[in-house]
Structure 1
Amino acid sequence: MSVVTWCAHHGITKANYYYRLRRVREACLKTIQGKMPAQQVVPVEPELLQCREQEGRTPQSGLDISIKGFSIHVTESTSMPLLAEVLKAVRHAE
C-alpha cells in the first residue's frame, strides 16, 4: 500500500505521516544506541603485521585473512563496504 493510500485510509496527512515516522525512527535510534557496545580495539603483535612477499608482487603491509579456503589481503586503503561484501560472500560460500 502506498503512503498516500495509507494516509487517506487512516485520515491523516502525508506530512503528519512522515513527521510521526521520523519521531519513531529517532526513538528507535536512541534505544539502540544505548544498547550498542563501544567498539573494541584488539591489540595485535607487531610481528603479525610484517610485510610478506608473494610471487611476482611487491610486499604490502596489511592483514591477510584466510577463511574457508579463501585468502583475503586487506590494507588501510581497502574499501570497508567492499570488504563487508566480500566477507558476506565468503561466509555463504560452500
Structure 2
Amino acid sequence: MSNSDAEQELWNAAWVHVSEQDRQRGPWVSPRRGEMPEPPWPATDNPVLRALLDQARRNLQVDGVEAVLIHLATHSWFEGGIEGYDRGQRDARGELAD
C-alpha cells in the first residue's frame, strides 16, 4: 500500500467516524463547526497548552514523535474543552453548559 493509499484510508476511516457521530447527534449542532481558537481548541496563549508544548519538545527524544503527538493532541483538545466550560460556552446540543 502506498503512502497516499494509506493516507486516504485513514481519512476515509475518519470520515466514517465523524459521519456516525453526526448521525447519533441528530439535530444537535456539530462541535466541529467551531473555529479555532474557540473550544474545543485551546487559545494559543493558554498556559497549559504552553506547558504541554514544552513537555512535548522535551519528550521527543525519549518517547518518539508518535507518542508525543498523541499525548499533545489529546491533552490540548481536553484543555480546549475545559476552556469552553469555563466560558459558559454552549455544549454540542446548543444548550448552555452547567
TM-score (norm 1): 0.30
Higher Cα radius of gyration: 1
Larger proportion of strand = 1
Q: Which has the higher contact order (CA 8 A, sep 6+)?
A: 2
Larger proportion of helix = 2
